[in-house]
Structure 1
Amino acid sequence: MKLLVVLPWMPYPLNDGGKQGSFNMLEQLQYKLDIVLIYPVESVNQLKYQMELQERLLNIKIYPFEYYHHKGNVFSQFFLFRLHRLLTKKILKQPYLATPVYEETYINFVNDVILKEKIDVVQNEYVELLYLVYTLPQHVKRIFVQHEIQYINKKRNIQTRDFVSSELQYLFNKIKQDEISAMNQYDFIVTMTEADKEILVNDGVRTPIYSSPSFIPLHKGASFKACTENNLTFIGGSVHYPNLNGICWFLKEVWPLILEENGDMKLNIIGRWTKQAKKNIQRKYSNVNFLGFVPRLCDAITGTIMVVPILIGSGIRMKIFESVNCYTPFVTTKIGVEGLDFKSGEECIVADDPREFAKSILELTKNVDLQQMLAENAHKKLLDKYSSETSSQRRLCIYEELYK
């Protein structure tokens, strides 16, 4: 079997959870499958990572699509799609409600690679490539890897609003049906969690669905270190809206309650944030630090309490895997831990109410024994259920099912 993996972005450097999830699986499977990889290079600056990526994926043949040469003219549907995305996401701060549009040169590029490499199976990943299924030749098997169900993300976003217009409800219903219809064009769907699989089945996806979570490599030498210096940590950039939504809720509803009890508490935010977002937050809230991208994540989060206040979205939180991998206890919400087998009071603490969330953090910072129990139990669960070996073997079994 020859597998073509099509990604909507270069999976390197590993500076966000999505890239980590895709890269780690490719790195693990490259010696077990014949893999070809396509992704867009959006700017010349990205070319500096090309050689490093190829060195880590030596057994994978890579076809980068030089996107910066093919951006389309101002009259193209592709250009209008990009303009719509810019207006909705960056300026209006609205849920992303446009169906992706692919430029002709990109469609031809993908299909040329399929013919040249004699591809048997095409695997599209992320909602950005969901609709590419309509351009694929009929002789190939088609898999879609659903990292995050976008219509569920939008549904939960809409549910946080005080008022939902009939127009917004119409747009949501339309895009939900568009996504489900597109998924039904595939031969297999792969979700990150059993919870997402159940949602899709209940909502009318008829294509066979298998759950196969992403993973992160084990940090060698990691061990538990007590949080004794009033440090909380959050991992995630502002570009991914569930992160922005979650941290804004935490700062508005939970952070004042924590500082009222312990004015020395500090929150360190790791990840890429816009200058304006950082300025707005630090102007309104005290004791908040932005660390940006940190090359040695384990060093930055060990000895802290991780907060994962996610209220919208689906899929899995790679930030939880990172926390557990480094023996860092975490406090999260039901949606934050949705689909992962970490139980409140055993491997983590789950709280949706702001006062309960604050209380849980304050109590955890004072109880080193509880910190250690949660961290060690969660790490054992990570090794048992979400190791690189277990997760990659699960994915291999799915590919085998495709040809039964």
Structure 2
Amino acid sequence: MSKVARSSGSRALVVCQEPPWPTSHGARVDIWNRYDGLVREGWSVGLICWRDGAQTQADADAGFNGVFEQVWVLDKPKTPAARLARLARLSYLPSLAAALYPPQDKMVALVAQVRAFAPDLLVADSVHMADFTRRLARTLDIPVVVRSHNVEHDYMAIQYRLAGSWRSRLSIAAARLHLKTFEIQALKTADHVLEISKDALPFWKNLGVERIDWVPTFVPSLERVQLEPLPWAERRYDAVYLGNLWSPNNVAAVRWIVDEVMPHVRKVTPEYVMLIAGSNPSPEFQTYLAEAENVEWIANPEDAAAIRAQGRVLVNPILEGSGLNTKSVEMLFFDSPLVMTPFAADGMDADSQACFHLTAEPERFAALMTDLAKAQFVVDQARTEARARFGQGGAGRLSTILRDVVADKQHMFQ
């Protein structure tokens, strides 16, 4: 087996299941911030991803300029031969992992191009990319790092239970096939695992995943922006929720705050207005939001920061899920009190959790929403320190871990 040419130890190639541009929802924002932060720590980063919609290579090159040194946007193969190959992979892979493989001729060309890029390690940015990334890493004889966003098989079980349509349940059922076994094996065989949730570390270690670190979501872009807070009286909404409006657990969270919490809010403050904003609500959910009392809503907002800046209180009513909630991290960078369920703070360290007002009791949640909307919020030391942890400092820690992985692998070659 020939080895890829070694660089200075600061070149990473990332494999994602979708392009992180445009940053139109939380997962893409998460990816973009992670590797933008890594580049600012001195790394050169390349990207392999699969085309999303009509996005072209030119679109990708323009959108990724300044972060990714080189980008490969692959098409999801749809030929009869590719479909048969995917069916064969479904005998041992979950559907998302089985779908994202280029045909053999394109794979050969891709390997040659990646070899010229000369990465020091490969990063599978989700567990679903682990099999493809591991095979590519073996060809190049370089280490592979897997990013674990949560205990994925538990998360998908929750999404399956909450799914509202048979079509959604069928899609999630296919994604769950072989997932638990696949996920455990992917993490155990990786050279290193980057786990998003602090709470998940003991779970994985008990299953024999030894080379693992807590690397939570970080958002250095928000840290750099330093938005000027709007005066309290000029903020348009008493409360703001921002998150995707299509995943089953987010839809359930919004229904809970509208149906269970807002009636208590109206009793105390009849004129209270909450904004619900997010991506891709179904027609049925749009109708539900339009009929909700004391609620305004915006689908697919272009500027998430501007939306959050208009809220006196920011809320995250998520009731189920796993991992670390990206919304909760982003909310730390706005000068508003933060009211959330305890589930929304899962996966964080205790010092960061102290920045949130936590309750899953509807009447108490409503009381916090109304009381905290009355007076201007002042950023305290706990919020300042949390911002440092989830800003560029998080990228610095990731950089140190990846450099150690490369150094350990190179030491084995000596």
- TM-score clears 0.5: yes
> Could you tell me whether the CA contact under 8 Å between 1:72 and 1:79 is conserved in 2?
no
The Cα shift of 1:275 comes to 4.3
Percentage of identical aligned residues? 16
Q: 1:35 aligns with which of 45, 53, 58?
A: 45
**2:66 aligned residue:** 56
Whose RCO is larger (CA < 8 A, sep 6+)? Answer: 2
The Cα shift of 1:296 comes to 3.6
**Equivalent runs, 1:287-306 vs 2, <5 Å:** 287-304=294-311, 305-306=313-314
The Cα shift of 1:8 comes to 0.9
Mapped partners of 1:74, 1:183: distance in 2: 30
**1:120 aligned residue:** 120
Mapped partners of 1:275, 1:172: distance in 2: 23
* 1:372 counterpart = 2:377: yes
Q: Structure 1's 209 and 346: CA in aligned 2 closer, same or farther, altered over 3 A?
A: closer
Deviations 1:334-384 (A, max 9, x none): 110112246699522000122222222122223x1xx624x4445312333
The Cα shift of 1:308 comes to 0.4
**1:7 aligned residue:** 16
**Equivalent runs, 1:353-372 vs 2, <5 Å:** 353-366=361-374, 368=375, 372=377
The Cα shift of 1:271 comes to 1.8
Q: 1:181 aligns with which of 185, 202, 209?
A: 185
* 1:206 counterpart = 2:228: no
* 1:322 counterpart = 2:330: yes
The Cα shift of 1:113 comes to 3.8
The Cα shift of 1:63 comes to 1.8
Mapped partners of 2:280, 2:268: distance in 1: 28
> Could you tell me whether the CA contact under 8 Å between 2:134 and 2:144 is conserved in 1?
no
**1:88 aligned residue:** none
SS at match of 2:217: coil
**1:135 aligned residue:** 135
Deviations 1:80-121 (A, max 9, x none): 69x9xxxxxxxxxxxxx7453133427556544443433331
Deviations 1:42-79 (A, max 9, x none): 3334556424323232x6122222x16x3343982577
**1:151 aligned residue:** 153
**2:5 aligned residue:** none
Mapped partners of 1:112, 1:155: distance in 2: 39
> Could you tell me whether the CA contact under 8 Å between 1:342 and 1:381 is conserved in 2?
no
> Could you tell me whether the CA contact under 8 Å between 1:232 and 1:266 is conserved in 2?
yes
> Could you tell me whether the CA contact under 8 Å between 2:279 and 2:300 is conserved in 1?
yes
**2:340 aligned residue:** 332
Q: 1:222 aligns with which of 228, 239, 243?
A: 228
> Could you tell me whether the CA contact under 8 Å between 1:10 and 1:40 is conserved in 2?
yes
The Cα shift of 1:174 comes to 5.3
Mapped partners of 1:344, 1:220: distance in 2: 19
SS at match of 2:342: coil
> Could you tell me whether the CA contact under 8 Å between 1:344 and 1:350 is conserved in 2?
no
**2:101 aligned residue:** 103
Mapped partners of 1:180, 1:142: distance in 2: 15
* 1:249 counterpart = 2:256: yes
User: Which residue identity is paired with 1:214?
Assistant: T
> Could you tell me whether the CA contact under 8 Å between 1:268 and 1:290 is conserved in 2?
yes
Q: Structure 1's 251 and 343: CA in aligned 2 closer, same or farther, altered over 3 A?
A: farther
SS at match of 1:44: coil
**2:358 aligned residue:** 350
Q: Which stretch shows the higher mean deviation, 355-364 or 278-287? A: 278-287
> Could you tell me whether the CA contact under 8 Å between 1:222 and 1:326 is conserved in 2?
no
Mapped partners of 2:97, 2:309: distance in 1: 40
Query: Scaled by the length of structure 2, what TM-score is found?
Result: 0.79
Q: Structure 1's 253 and 44: CA in aligned 2 closer, same or farther, altered over 3 A?
A: same
Structure 2 gaps of 5+ residues are: 1-8, 164-171, 409-414
Q: Which stretch shows the higher mean deviation, 310-319 or 4-13? A: 310-319
**1:269 aligned residue:** 276
How many residue pairs get matched?
375
Deviations 1:155-184 (A, max 9, x none): 5557879xxxxxx99x97953233112221
* 1:381 counterpart = 2:394: no
The Cα shift of 1:188 comes to 0.5
C-alpha RMSD of the superposition: 3.4
Q: Structure 1's 104 and 53: CA in aligned 2 closer, same or farther, altered over 3 A?
A: closer
* 1:231 counterpart = 2:235: no
Q: Structure 1's 316 and 247: CA in aligned 2 closer, same or farther, altered over 3 A?
A: same
* 1:259 counterpart = 2:254: no
User: Which residue identity is paired with 1:177?
Assistant: T
Mapped partners of 1:51, 1:159: distance in 2: 39
